[in-house]
Structure 1
Amino acid sequence: MATVVWRTLKERDCERVGERVQLQAKVVYPVSALPDGPPRVLAHRCSRGMICNACDRPACQWAGSLPDIDPFASG
């Protein structure tokens, strides 16, 4: 059976929540019977995305509420 894990890609300071956040990817690793297949990325998220989504305005693509805005793109 394939292994599914959330891997941390980057850590950044987020102005919106005022703390350090982890930008993560949901990665599926192939079963050992097919070891030559590359891992696949299924989704992205922010470790504090739930806090951003509870605020009164959309946040960013990492929180899942505003797909065109990536405040961490330059860093």
Structure 2
Amino acid sequence: MAEKRWYPAKTQYCKHAGGEVQLEVHVVLPPEYLPDQPPHVVGHRCSHGLQCNLLTQPSCVWAGTNPAYDPFSEEE
């Protein structure tokens, strides 16, 4: 049976969160009898997204409140 898991992909300082956050990917792993199949990425999230959603201002695309701002795409 296929397995779904969240894996950390990147750790970065987020100005909006005021600390280190992780970008996580939701991966569907193939069943054991199909080992040559690659895993499928079905979603992304930020480890601090829930706390950012509680704020009154839109935060970023990973929190789901501001699709125009992606703090992980900026190189510092």
TM-score (norm 1): 0.91
Identical amino acids, percent of aligned pairs:
45
Equivalences for residues 1-75 of structure 1 within 5 A = 1-75=1-75
AA of the residue aligned to 2:37:
G
Q: Which structure 2 residue ranges, 5 or more long, are not aligned?
A: none
What's the offset of the Cα at 1:66? 1.6
Q: Which structure 1 residue ranges, 5 or more long, are not aligned?
A: none
**May I ask how many residue pairs the two structures share in their alignment?**
75
Following superposition, which runs of at least 4 residues in structure 1 exceed 6 angstroms of deviation? Answer: none
What's the offset of the Cα at 1:37? 1.2
RMSD: 1.0
Following the alignment from structure 2 to structure 1, what is the Cα–Cα distance between the partners of residues 26 and 18? 24
TM-score (norm 2): 0.90
SS in 2 for 1:50: helix
